[in-house]
Amino acid sequence: MATSTSPSFFAPDALAGRVAVVTGGSSGIGLATVEALLDCGAAVALFGRNAERLDRAVAGLRESRPQATLFAQTCDVLDPASVKAFAAASEAALGPASMLINNAGQGRVSTFADTEDAAWTEELNLKFFSVIHPTRAFLPQLAAQRAVVGDASIVCANSLLARQPEPHMVATSAARAGLLNLVRSMATEFAPQGVRVNGILIGLVESGQWRRRFEAREDKSLDWSTWSGQLASNKHIPLGRLGLPTEAARAILFLASPLASYTTGSHIDISGGLSRHA
């Protein structure tokens, strides 16, 4: 009987000797993913557009994890030259990557009637090229590292909107559906190179956006737990609460690690049961 050599999520050296790259890694799910990867022993390169927020995130990481191996640099995921330069700098600092987490992106609230052409172009450009540029820049490293460490992976953070569109987020929903298809296409094309490609579909997860809405609430007597619980109830989330960034990060960690070595072209639902799809 074969013995599994897959790492445990909880072992501090489970991903030792591996390099992970996280886009949009300075806050939210991206930052939680960086923390999870570091806690499993990976060296991590992260980037974001906001230098102040990136510096703050790195300072926090170095304080909480003084032994962590980190590389951080500002980078615009929509600028291919900037991403290519980051890939070279990351490799020089940490070595070639074997895991790429495509996490950059945000939502746009708009209906079909009030979404102008420029807004459509901006949203589609962000959702597609925030994945295309990093993937193109890091794919040679991933393919080469597969032969060294035995497994290479790409994980794309996506939204439940890809399968369950909302009329008030028409452009984002359409772009997210396209990303779902792109993940499946890349998984098929990259499989001969030994690079797995998967994604997660996120529902309502605690974020700065929801915290800002909480601060602007009309009933100031409601604490966060009560307010967010009511939001979850109004949104018909069966688990009755919003998700945590760490919960999305754990799914990303699983898909990026050799624990998911026979999984490619797939998505994990992280929506607390909100999905209406089997």
Which amino acid, residue 111? T
Whether residue 14 lies inside any domain: the answer is no
Say which residue, 199 or 9, is predicted with more confidence: 199
- Find the domain containing 31 and state its range: 19-205+243-266
Number of domains in the chain: 1
3-state secondary structure of 127: helix
Residue 4 above 80 pLDDT? no
Q: Which two tokens stand for residue 138?
A: 């890091």
Question: With contact defined as beta carbons under 8 Å apart, do 72 and 54 qualify?
Answer: yes
The pLDDT, as a whole number, for residue 127 is: 95
Q: Which DSSP category does 107 fall into?
A: -
Lowest mean per-residue pLDDT among 8-17, 215-224, 241-250: 8-17
Host H or E run for residue 43:
strand 43-48
CA distances from 270 to 131, 137, 222 (A): 20, 28, 26
Whether residue 71 lies inside any domain: the answer is yes
CATH classification of the domain holding 42:
3.40.50.720
Mean pLDDT on 31-41: 96
Lowest mean per-residue pLDDT among 8-12, 130-134, 233-237: 8-12
Whether residue 51 lies inside any domain: the answer is yes
Residue 129 above 70 pLDDT? yes
Q: What are phi and psi of 19, to 5 degrees?
A: -115, 130
Q: What's the pLDDT tens digit per position in 168-181?
A: 999 999 999 999 99
Confidence of residue 9 (pLDDT cuts 50, 70, 90): low
Percentage, residues of the chain above pLDDT 90: 84
Whether residue 210 lies inside any domain: the answer is no
Q: Tokens 């700098």, residue?
A: 89
Instruction: Please spell the DSSP secondary structure of 24-77, one letter per residue.
Output: TTTSHHHHHHHHHHHHTT-EEEEEES-HHHHHHHHHHHHHH-TT--EEEEE--T
Mean pLDDT on 79-91: 98
Q: Which DSSP category does 6 fall into?
A: P
3-state secondary structure of 19: strand
Rg value, the chain, Cα: 19
Whether residue 155 lies inside any domain: the answer is yes
Q: What's the pLDDT tens digit per position in 67-78?
A: 999 999 999 999
Whether residue 4 lies inside any domain: the answer is no
Question: With contact defined as beta carbons under 8 Å apart, do 272 and 203 qualify?
Answer: yes
